[in-house]
Amino acid sequence: MTPQPLDAAATEALLAFWRDAGVDACYLDAPVDRTVFVAPPPAQMVQKASAKVTALHGGMSGAEAVDDARRLAAAASSMDELAEAIAAFDGCPLRAMGAKQAVFARGNPKGSVLLVGEAPGETEDLRGEPFVGQAGQLTDRMLAAAGLADQVFMTNTVFWKPPGNRLPTPQEQAACAPFLERAFALMQPKAVLLVGAAAAKAILNTDEGLMKIRGQWREWRLSEGGVSAPVIATLHPAFLLRQPQAKRVVWADLLDLAAHLDTAQVEPNA
């Protein structure tokens, strides 16, 4: 029997659905006996691997990169200064993986909503702004339809394009986290919208799948400074380009966000 050729588009859409649903592991083609002890690699191999990771962080270890990011971020007193600090930061390994430039943010830094995505894509890497490709254009249209267009400031968990448009790793997100937290502290939004599983897991510090998280109001609170805001997560717009029927799910989340902002504006005067 001749196997049918794979439909590349359908396969990509299915993989994207699993990713956005939080599936991050799969079974292998052959069974693996995990009761068998496997000796650790020789010390020389461990040292070489550690040296490679350090090199990707611009000569710094992961902890040193995070400390440097904290120092640079803390010194920024405005979004413009924060953008300059990010551009000068060489501790994220993504910077040495083919990205053309740092991609920080766009939108209204004095708005009510901080939108956090996963990572810049190819178009964003070329233009130096997040959410400007097809997925970003869809995001703009949906935000405008929900009456939120002028209230949103957009950024990502990392500021350099991952190779092959893959998801950022937790280590890459950790290196950039101090800058994202500083943007959150400077803006002090009334609400935060997380798009995509990678952003939701990083900000909410959870391993739960996106389909379980989405639509639920949670809280993002910084360990220092007392800054906090309610958070809602939803599907990434890139997923909607492959699965248009899922737009109704995101639309419901955006309407919930808009209603939350309306309530927040009414309560102080009540």
Q: What is the pLDDT of residue 62?
A: 85
H or E stretch covering 15: helix 8-20
Contact in structure between 203 and 231 (CB atoms under 8 Å): yes
| pLDDT for residue 188 is more than 70 | yes
pLDDT tier at 61 (50, 70, 90 boundaries)? confident
113: region left, alpha or beta (phi > 0 left; psi from -120 to 50 alpha): beta
Q: What is the mean pLDDT of the chain?
A: 86
What's the rounded Cα separation, in Å, for the pair 218 and 209?
15
Which of 268, 264, 263, 234 is closest to 251 using CA atoms?
234
From first CA to last CA, the distance across the chain in angstroms is: 72
Q: What is the pLDDT of residue 202?
A: 97
Q: Where are the alpha helices (DSSP H) in 98-246?
A: 122-127, 134-145, 170-187, 197-204, 210-213, 237-242
168 is in which domain, residue-wise?
Answer: 52-269
> 25 lies in a domain?
no
DSSP state of 207: -
> 26 lies in a domain?
no
The per-residue pLDDT for range 209-268, each reduced to its tens digit, is 999 999 999 999 998 878 999 999 999 999 999 999 999 999 999 999 999 999 877 654
Q: Which residues pair with 195 in a beta bridge?
A: 234
The per-residue pLDDT for range 147-182, each reduced to its tens digit, is 999 999 999 999 999 999 999 999 999 999 999 999
Percent pLDDT > 70 in the chain is 77
| pLDDT for residue 191 is more than 50 | yes
> 255 lies in a domain?
yes
Tell me how many domains the chain contains.
Answer: 1
Q: What is the CATH number of the domain that holds 205?
A: 3.40.470.10
> 210 lies in a domain?
yes
> 10 lies in a domain?
no
Q: What is the pLDDT of residue 14?
A: 72
> 224 lies in a domain?
yes
> 4 lies in a domain?
no
pLDDT tier at 50 (50, 70, 90 boundaries)? very low
Q: What is the pLDDT of residue 154?
A: 98
> 247 lies in a domain?
yes
- Residue 125: CB atoms within 10 Å: 21
Per-residue pLDDT, averaged over 187-208, amounts to: 97
| pLDDT for residue 41 is more than 70 | no
Which of 205, 207, 129, 199 is closest to 167 using CA atoms?
199
Q: What is the pLDDT of residue 134?
A: 96
Q: What is the pLDDT of residue 40?
A: 46
Q: What is the pLDDT of residue 26?
A: 56
What's the rounded Cα separation, in Å, for the pair 252 and 146?
10
Supply the pTM of this predicted model: 0.78
Q: What is the pLDDT of residue 225?
A: 77
Residues whose CB is less than 8 angstroms from the CB of residue 63 and which lie 6 or more positions away in sequence, other chains included: none
The per-residue pLDDT for range 84-138, each reduced to its tens digit, is 999 999 999 999 999 999 999 999 999 999 999 999 999 999 999 999 999 999 9
